[in-house]
Amino acid sequence: MRTVGVIGLGLIGGSLALDLRRRGFASRTLGVEKDSVAAQAALTIGLVDEVTDLDTCVKKADIIVLAVPVGAAVKLVTQILDRIGDNQIVIDVCSTKEQICRATQYHPRRGQFVSTHPMAGTEYSGPWAAQPGLFDGRACIFCDSEESDPQAVRKIEEMYAVLNMRPLYMRAAQHDVHTAYVSHISHVTSFALALTVLDKEKDEKHIFDLASGGFSSTVRLAKSNADMWVPILTQNHDNVLHVMDTYIEKMKAFRDAVATYDEDKIRELITEANKIKKILR
């Protein structure tokens, strides 16, 4: 008998609750969701067994999962840690880790907090976007796990094993640098691409007609939700800014090569970029 309480029934929280219950890790799931439409939808879809208020969830759940945008999570985490008993565990699943780890650093119940980032998702949000199997085969990063009690970490490792995730371990600061490169900048480049095309291409029919798979794939992250991404970009400010500046430099190098019809330089840049093939299938 184990109750998992999920705070925030969006794509990640909803998918997690769904699979933990279906796969038997949780015997009961509670959900907390401040948006009443989303809460009702989560119940109707069957993402959780019960929607409760925060107090009830914090009281009843053996494992409490914080799955709200990272700005809200940083504020909530210590309030929740203040109220749990000795056998409860709190985890977060946020996309930036330095601030939430710093916020909990000196909390007397720090050992009962496990900071994780399951690297899975889609460009959609809300309980409607939740899906079974979302996490299967993906990586899950445990941050600063040496600050957590070993038995708490073990329990959460077990939980992610049920979701078929590969565990990785790193410092929160290191996590935030890496994700700036392999996730945050991708979103920003997609947002900028959407803005560029929307700005110039007033004839929407043509965007749709001419868009082949390539455009759809580079622009799809531009559908991502502002509630989630505003706090990610501001919390991971320094890293994101650094990567954006590098990106703008690369873009300008490309632009200048095109501007001057410098075919050798364009070829060199493309050939260099092609090396991504060796890393990503």
**Considering the rule CB under 8 A, would residue 72 count as an interface residue with its own copies?**
no
**Considering the rule CB under 8 A, would residue 75 count as an interface residue with its own copies?**
no
Residues 129-188 that bind its own copies (CB under 8 A): 138-139, 141, 166, 168, 178-179, 181-183, 185-188
**Considering the rule CB under 8 A, would residue 193 count as an interface residue with its own copies?**
yes
Cα separation of 133 and 116, whole Å?
Answer: 18
Candidate list 54, 119, 129, 173; residue touching its own copies; CB under 8 A? 119
Nearest 5 degrees, angle CA 235-CA 238-CA 239? Answer: 95
- Token pair for 18: 């769904």
The phi-psi region of residue 144 (left if phi > 0; otherwise alpha if psi is between -120 and 50; otherwise beta) is left
- Token pair for 207: 């965007």
- Token pair for 66: 């914080």
Residues 203-222 that bind its own copies (CB under 8 A): 204, 206-222
Candidate list 123, 147, 149, 157; residue touching its own copies; CB under 8 A? 123
* Minimum distance from residue 169 beta carbon to its own copies (Å): 11
> How many residues make contact with its own copies (CB under 8 A)?
90
* Minimum distance from residue 93 beta carbon to its own copies (Å): 13
Closer residue to its own copies (CB): 79 or 217: 217
Closer residue to its own copies (CB): 164 or 183: 183
Cα separation of 143 and 97, whole Å?
Answer: 7
Farthest-apart Cα atoms in the chain, separation: 68
Cα separation of 278 and 44, whole Å?
Answer: 44
Closer residue to its own copies (CB): 105 or 196: 196
Judge whether 221 and 125 are in contact, CB under 8 Å: no
* Minimum distance from residue 164 beta carbon to its own copies (Å): 15
Closer residue to its own copies (CB): 82 or 263: 263
- Provide the 10 A C-beta neighbour count for residue 229: 19
* Minimum distance from residue 27 beta carbon to its own copies (Å): 30
Cα separation of 41 and 13, whole Å?
Answer: 13
Closer residue to its own copies (CB): 43 or 119: 119
Cα separation of 21 and 26, whole Å?
Answer: 5
**Considering the rule CB under 8 A, would residue 280 count as an interface residue with its own copies?**
yes
- Provide the 10 A C-beta neighbour count for residue 55: 10
* Minimum distance from residue 174 beta carbon to its own copies (Å): 9
**Considering the rule CB under 8 A, would residue 251 count as an interface residue with its own copies?**
yes
